[in-house]
Amino acid sequence: MCDNKNMQRIGILGGTFDPVHVEHEALARAALVELNLDKLVVMPTFISPHKTEAKASPASDRLNMLNLAFKDDEKIEVSDFEILKEGKSYTYQTVEWFKAQGAEDLFFICGGDMLTDFKNWRFPERILSACTLAVFARENFATDFEGEREYFLKTFGKEFIKLNYFGKDESSTKIRVYSMLNLPLNRLVSQKVEEYIKDNDLYKADDYYEYVKLTLPEKRLKHTANVVVTALKKANELGLDKKKVETACVLHDCAKYLDYKSIKDFELEDGVPEPVIHSFLGAHVAKTRLGIEDEEIIDAIRFHTSGKPNMSLLGKLVFVADMVEEGRNYEGVEYLRELYNKSDFEFCFKECLREEYIHLLNKKGDIYSKTLDAYNYYINKKEG
């Protein structure tokens, strides 16, 4: 527990921290200095009310990793307050408790992307009565800070502090996915945290992850991991089941290095070009070898390279994530990534399809019929 006696300026940085990563550490140390804090309390949640994903890792593991990450920081303290309280972790309860312990100036640190949703938090007025929000901008999240400032003043009669710190777009999801695919975690977490994850086998891979680990080289595994992470960022916004999204993305390239001629029960449709074969074969492998019965997942794998008319939302997401994941490097990809992060998803999908069509045109080869049909279905007829 944090001893607030003689501590006038206290900052609270909350989160699931599953696991704590280098961006969390950088933010904590920057906020400590910028807010001139006597103490920064890092507060892992028991169950975050803002999280909808699967159950978090055990509290003991998350606390252990945080203690390893901040072991040498005298003014940063890891608190088990919300862990011990159990149940959902509501900010108003936490800040009121710390205020009651004697903190004169209390600051709750959060990303600017949370400002627009703050009005939906439990008892926002009580939060602002007990503390001041200290907000930082984040990469790939557009926040209208001036507009939010006006809203806060009008609605709550109080401003927030805009920190100079600019957060990088790192996520604990990325670390978990990388870990499940045995990819290096250097530059994502500290060495001590990486060792803890590996020593405790913290993020266990399911059968689908295990299969691609056996069939794909590291470079393609990294692409696969990035596609998973990219797609999961949009899953909630699009109202998609995150497990279905994850499964489709993990397996989208599962047949990339298989020879379709060696798969006796696989029949290739006529007219499928060489670069697209792995998608059709991947759908076959997912269904017949890995037991995937969900036809929406199978369809998303089958058409993630070519596209087709009347794609499902899941299919569109896998198609787009495959094109814009952080490892892709081609002319125009930055534009598409910006659309993905900040614009209407359907518009982004159509722009990705347009980019694919133009790329194939420039190669001056035959365009696969499904891709041409998709282009005409989504773009050409709309513009005609």
Mean pLDDT value across residues 176-204: 95
Q: What are the residues facing 40 on neighbouring strands?
A: 11, 76
Q: Single out the residue of 52, 58, 27, 61 nearest to residue 42, CA to CA.
A: 27
Q: What is the pLDDT of residues 207-262, one digit of tens each?
A: 999 999 999 999 999 999 999 999 999 999 999 999 999 999 999 999 999 999 99
Residues 6+ apart with CB under 8 A from 274: none
Give the pLDDT of residue 140. Answer: 83
Q: What is the pLDDT of residues 303-338, one digit of tens each?
A: 999 999 999 999 999 999 999 999 999 999 999 999
Radius of gyration of the chain (CA): 24
Is the distance from CB of 180 to CB of 10 less than 8 angstroms? no
For residues 203 and 201, what is the distance between their CA atoms, to the nearest angstrom?
Answer: 6
Mean pLDDT value across residues 126-154: 94
User: Cβ of 379: how many Cβ atoms within 10 Å?
Assistant: 15
Q: Single out the residue of 71, 97, 81 nearest to residue 45, CA to CA.
A: 81
Fold classification of 205-383 is Hypothetical protein af1432 (1.10.3210)
Domain boundaries, given as residue ranges, for the chain: 9-171, 205-383
Q: What is the pLDDT of residues 17-68, one digit of tens each?
A: 999 999 999 999 999 999 999 999 999 998 766 654 456 899 999 999 999 9
What's the mean pLDDT when you consider all of the chain?
A: 93
Q: Single out the residue of 315, 170, 148 nearest to residue 244, CA to CA.
A: 315
Residue 331: enclosing H or E segment and its boundaries? none
Query: Which two tokens mark 327?
Result: 């490892």
Instruction: Quickly state the pLDDT bin for 3 (edges 50, 70, 90).
Output: low
Is the distance from CB of 325 to CB of 223 less than 8 angstroms? yes
Give the pLDDT of residue 247. Answer: 98
Q: How far is Cα of residue 120 from the mean position of the Cα atoms in its chain?
A: 22
Residue 163, pLDDT > 90, answer yes
User: Peptide bond before 184: cis, by omega within 30 degrees of 0?
Assistant: no
Instruction: Quickly state the pLDDT bin for 384 (edges 50, 70, 90).
Output: very low
Q: What is the pLDDT of residues 342-365, one digit of tens each?
A: 879 999 999 999 999 999 999 877
Q: What DSSP string runs through 126-152?
A: HHHHH-EEEEEEETTB---HHHHHHHH
* N- to C-terminal Cα separation, the chain: 66
Query: Which two tokens mark 336?
Result: 């598409």
Q: What is the pLDDT of residues 279-310, one digit of tens each?
A: 999 999 999 999 999 999 999 999 999 999 99
Mean pLDDT value across residues 113-132: 94
For 205-222, b/e burial (b = at least 16 CB within 10 A) is beebbebbbebbeeeebb
- CATH code matching the domain that covers 9-171, chosen among 3.40.50.620, 3.30.70.60, 2.60.40.1080, 3.10.50.40: 3.40.50.620
CB-side neighbour CA atoms (13 Å) of 341: 18
